[in-house]
Chain A
Amino acid sequence: MKIKAQIGMVLNLDKCIGCHTCSVTCKNTWTNRPGAEYMWFNNVETKPGVGYPKRWEDESHYHGGWELNSKGKLQLKAGNKLNKIALGKIFYQPDMPELDDYYEPWTYDYQTLFGPEKKHQPVARAKSQITGDYMDLKGGPNWDDDLAGSTNTFDQDPNMQKIETDIKANFEQAFMMYLPRLCEHCLNAPCVASCPSGAMYKRDEDGIVLVDQERCRGWRFCMTGCPYKKVYFNWRTNKAEKCTFCYPRIEEGMPTVCAETCVGRIRYIGAILYDADRVAEAAEEPDDTKLYESQLSLFLDPNDPEVIKQARKDGVNDEMIKAAQNSPIYRMAVKEKIAFPLHPEYRTMPMVWYIPPLSPIMNYFEGRDSINDPEMIFPGIDEMRIPVDYLASLLSGGNKEVIKAALYKLAMMRLYMRARTSGKDFDVSKLGRVNLNERTATSLYRLLAIAKYEDRFVIPQNHKEQVEDGYAEQGELGYDECQGCSLAPQHSSMFKKAEEGKSTAEIYSETFYGGIWRD
């Protein structure tokens, strides 16, 4: 046994309103640079929908993730080492998405809006940020947001082809949900396994998957290797970039930017202990529908004295162990089993977990007096608007029972709390059926519904200051190789004023007036 610690995330889809705040704050923090315009380390997709890049879940097309070879051993779906050399895949990646599978980044020709007076109102046309050519926009990120384009995009969702439920795309019966996506920081990360240069790695101390910008040689195998298509290629630096799980913040015990800014408080971050020696074995489970449970078997009880002893021996520090004991991730994913990994059938052992959404069905059976007759919940969930098999194809490799069990639990918790706050009678013995009792139901409610900051984010400090000179590292995040990637020129007027010897107060009064900064 080799115990390692992993920082993971849980997203409560039940509460996601699809506002894209996470995507925008992430973009402003990390990918607001030339060459990175099309990168969305975090994006929010409407499901069912084509996704970003288009049809990323169609692994028969992109060949991402792992598969089992004829001997039942793990093998990258994009081809084993011999196959990659023999077929010259280093010269050309047949499975790599092209820019058009994402979108060609554009800006608008704002200058025309400020020209001399014309007869007709001027229009700012879209202009490519790569070539500078005018563009006729035919698509972009979230083009199918909130089911825009409905039936067309419905049919293009690879999950829709896998499920039995007869989906009616007409307005009255349509369903949708939001799926915020970021890098999964997998335990069995295929991008790391694909990287020929050894530039991609998992951090030993917290399992965050990073691209070493100094060692990346741009062979692009990570892009095909990642089934979630969350490794991007910077066309300007010719290197791969991906979600960093905001490691500089995590090191300080702060949540990622996406989690910090989430207005719905849907994101939870915490630590979890797992047995690194058994990862490959667990990923070799032959049955797709059992992969979820196989992944759960990797996680270790942080309160078990034996586990604590071994963890200390394997170099996990006490702060991390304490965080694992209070971890919201361990509680929701392992103990309560209400959170699920995204597409476990890719055999990547992803570490971003999702609580399936419940809301759309509540009205359906609440209208039938379900408070007085909780028996109604279970058939109700089986007939909910977002079909259980759709959720199962997203979150459990097709295992419907585990998804149902989670939904029953969430629904029962709601009914219990509803009855309690409205002073109605509730037979608490019913909680036992979903493995809850009054105490755990209340605390689960606090965790999910109240979601206090300190309950959501239990992140140990990394104590980087003990090994590195923080001042020397300041402002360096590995992207400094990119010449001309700085945004400073766009905000240069203030720098210029400072160079001209103006005082801070003068610059302030000149640039900040009328309540806004004027650059």
Chain B
Amino acid sequence: MMAHPFQFLLWTFYPYLMLGSFFFGTIIRFAFFHPTVTAKSSEILEKKTLMIGSILFHVGIIGVFFGHIAGIFIPKAWTDALGISNEMYHMFALGAGGVFGIMATVGVYVLCFRRYHNHRVFHASSIGDLVIITALTIEITLGMSSSFIAGPMNPSFNYRTSLAIWVRQLFMFHPDFRLMLNVPLLYKCHVVFGLMIFGAFPYTRLVHALALPWQYIFRRFIVYRKKPQI
């Protein structure tokens, strides 16, 4: 611990700072600032590039999200027990992850370009909107290059025996920072940057991801509301 004070802080303190900000910030946002949670759509201002960017990005990022869940929370022992070899696992992971990853990448680049390039969209953007689209673009680029550049360049590195265990430990509240010491730099950047986005999540437009209107599926069409009576 003492030998690596910075690494210790980065892989034990920093994640909790960010996840704490995510958790409590979201509660505060929804409890006290609920009316400010919106999809922050700019479709009225520009439609054509939004179609490509938004659909690709959202479908991609949802796939990527569940890919991360599966990759991190399914221990290697389980897939080994099912007789899935390491090669098969990575072929599948890179295949499915690649498809959704490329969708998310293309999508976010289109959205980022649109936000800065389209005058109407740019002028209607808050600082937070500009920061978060830039951060997402960097984060997705880091993620893709981790998988497709840093991964193949470091054949001895298997995230399932180091990084994934560290993440699971985070959720069990006893992370071992040494697991992260030998992780390739791109992966590290991806994790640090990703945690930062989680930390910023409640204070930006990203919160709309947690405001999904599930009730619509079961609701009757016409809603009547009555004024409270005495």
* Known interface pairs A93-B43, A214-B35, A233-B41; A198-B219 also in contact (CB < 8 Å): yes
Nearest CB to that of B119 among chain A residues? A131
Cα-based distance from A420 to B189 in the complex (angstroms):
91
The reply on B229 being an interface residue by CB < 8 A is: yes
- CB under 8 Å from chain A, chain B span 48-78: 50-51, 54-55, 57-59
Choose one: B43, B44, B223, B224; the contact of A92 (CB below 8 Å). B43
| Contact assessment for B44 and A233 in the assembled complex, using a CB-CB cutoff below 8 Å | yes
The reply on B42 being an interface residue by CB < 8 A is: yes
Question: Can you list 11 A-B pairs, Cβ within 8 angstroms, ordered by A?
Answer: A81-B216, A96-B43, A96-B47, A98-B46, A193-B221, A197-B213, A198-B219, A201-B224, A204-B226, A205-B226, A238-B40
| Contact assessment for B222 and A189 in the assembled complex, using a CB-CB cutoff below 8 Å | yes
The reply on A60 being an interface residue by CB < 8 A is: no
| Contact assessment for B47 and A201 in the assembled complex, using a CB-CB cutoff below 8 Å | no
* Known interface pairs A98-B47, A218-B40; A198-B35 also in contact (CB < 8 Å): no
A residues near B219, Cβ cutoff 8 Å: 198
The reply on A33 being an interface residue by CB < 8 A is: no
A residues near B41, Cβ cutoff 8 Å: 218-220, 233, 238
| Contact assessment for A196 and B216 in the assembled complex, using a CB-CB cutoff below 8 Å | yes
A residues near B124, Cβ cutoff 8 Å: 130, 235-236
Specify the main secondary structure of chain A where it touches its partner. loop
A residues near B226, Cβ cutoff 8 Å: 203-205
User: How distant is A351 from chain B, measured CB to nearest CB, in Å?
Assistant: 13
| Contact assessment for B43 and A217 in the assembled complex, using a CB-CB cutoff below 8 Å | no
A residues near B40, Cβ cutoff 8 Å: 218, 238
A residues near B208, Cβ cutoff 8 Å: 217
Cα-based distance from A215 to B34 in the complex (angstroms):
8
Contacts from B to A (Cβ < 8 Å):
34-47, 50-51, 54-55, 57-59, 119-120, 122-124, 208, 211, 213, 215-217, 219, 221-230
A residues near B122, Cβ cutoff 8 Å: 131
| Contact assessment for B50 and A92 in the assembled complex, using a CB-CB cutoff below 8 Å | yes
Nearest CB to that of A220 among chain B residues? B41
* Known interface pairs A88-B55, A131-B123, A217-B213; A98-B43 also in contact (CB < 8 Å): yes
B residues near A128, Cβ cutoff 8 Å: 120
User: How distant is A425 from chain B, measured CB to nearest CB, in Å?
Assistant: 54
User: How distant is B159 from chain A, measured CB to nearest CB, in Å?
Assistant: 30
A residues near B51, Cβ cutoff 8 Å: 92, 94
Cα-based distance from A202 to B222 in the complex (angstroms):
8
Cα-based distance from A279 to B34 in the complex (angstroms):
34
Nearest CB to that of B223 among chain A residues? A201
Cα-based distance from A239 to B42 in the complex (angstroms):
11
A residues near B215, Cβ cutoff 8 Å: 198
Contacts from A to B (Cβ < 8 Å):
4, 74, 81, 85, 88, 91-94, 96-99, 104, 128, 130-133, 188-189, 192-193, 195-198, 200-205, 213-220, 233, 235-239, 279-280, 464, 466-468, 481
User: How distant is B105 from chain A, measured CB to nearest CB, in Å?
Assistant: 16
15 additional A-B residue pairs with CB within 8 Å, beyond A205-B226, A214-B34: A88-B58, A130-B119, A130-B124, A131-B119, A195-B216, A202-B224, A203-B224, A216-B38, A217-B213, A218-B40, A235-B44, A238-B40, A280-B221, A464-B227, A481-B36
A residues near B221, Cβ cutoff 8 Å: 74, 192-193, 280
Cα-based distance from A92 to B49 in the complex (angstroms):
11
A residues near B54, Cβ cutoff 8 Å: 91-92
Cα-based distance from A466 to B119 in the complex (angstroms):
50
| Contact assessment for A188 and B55 in the assembled complex, using a CB-CB cutoff below 8 Å | no
B residues near A92, Cβ cutoff 8 Å: 43, 50-51, 54-55
User: How distant is A444 from chain B, measured CB to nearest CB, in Å?
Assistant: 34
A residues near B35, Cβ cutoff 8 Å: 213-215, 481
B residues near A99, Cβ cutoff 8 Å: 44-45, 120
Q: Which 8 A-B pairs have the closest CB atoms?
A: A196-B213, A193-B221, A218-B38, A204-B226, A196-B216, A214-B35, A91-B58, A201-B225
Cα-based distance from A91 to B51 in the complex (angstroms):
8
A residues near B46, Cβ cutoff 8 Å: 98
A residues near B42, Cβ cutoff 8 Å: 235
Nearest CB to that of A75 among chain B residues? B221
* Known interface pairs A98-B46, A201-B225, A205-B227; A88-B34 also in contact (CB < 8 Å): no
B residues near A238, Cβ cutoff 8 Å: 38-41
| Contact assessment for A192 and B227 in the assembled complex, using a CB-CB cutoff below 8 Å | no
A residues near B45, Cβ cutoff 8 Å: 98-99, 130, 235
User: How distant is A244 from chain B, measured CB to nearest CB, in Å?
Assistant: 14
User: How distant is B39 from chain A, measured CB to nearest CB, in Å?
Assistant: 4
| Contact assessment for A204 and B225 in the assembled complex, using a CB-CB cutoff below 8 Å | yes
| Contact assessment for A133 and B36 in the assembled complex, using a CB-CB cutoff below 8 Å | no
User: How distant is A423 from chain B, measured CB to nearest CB, in Å?
Assistant: 54
B residues near A94, Cβ cutoff 8 Å: 51
A residues near B225, Cβ cutoff 8 Å: 201-204
| Contact assessment for A96 and B44 in the assembled complex, using a CB-CB cutoff below 8 Å | yes
| Contact assessment for A132 and B123 in the assembled complex, using a CB-CB cutoff below 8 Å | yes
B residues near A215, Cβ cutoff 8 Å: 35
| Contact assessment for B224 and A204 in the assembled complex, using a CB-CB cutoff below 8 Å | yes
Cα-based distance from A283 to B199 in the complex (angstroms):
49
Nearest CB to that of B218 among chain A residues? A81
B residues near A218, Cβ cutoff 8 Å: 38-41
Cα-based distance from A88 to B122 in the complex (angstroms):
25
| Contact assessment for B227 and A130 in the assembled complex, using a CB-CB cutoff below 8 Å | no
Cα-based distance from A237 to B43 in the complex (angstroms):
13
B residues near A98, Cβ cutoff 8 Å: 43-47
* Known interface pairs A131-B120, A132-B123; A239-B38 also in contact (CB < 8 Å): yes
A residues near B36, Cβ cutoff 8 Å: 481
| Contact assessment for A133 and B119 in the assembled complex, using a CB-CB cutoff below 8 Å | yes
A residues near B230, Cβ cutoff 8 Å: 466-467
A residues near B222, Cβ cutoff 8 Å: 188-189, 192-193, 202, 279
* Known interface pairs A213-B35, A214-B34, A238-B39; A91-B55 also in contact (CB < 8 Å): yes
| Contact assessment for A104 and B38 in the assembled complex, using a CB-CB cutoff below 8 Å | no
Nearest CB to that of A216 among chain B residues? B38
B residues near A74, Cβ cutoff 8 Å: 221
Cα-based distance from A203 to B223 in the complex (angstroms):
9
Nearest CB to that of B44 among chain A residues? A233
Nearest CB to that of B221 among chain A residues? A193
A residues near B44, Cβ cutoff 8 Å: 96-99, 220, 233, 235
B residues near A213, Cβ cutoff 8 Å: 35
User: How distant is B115 from chain A, measured CB to nearest CB, in Å?
Assistant: 13
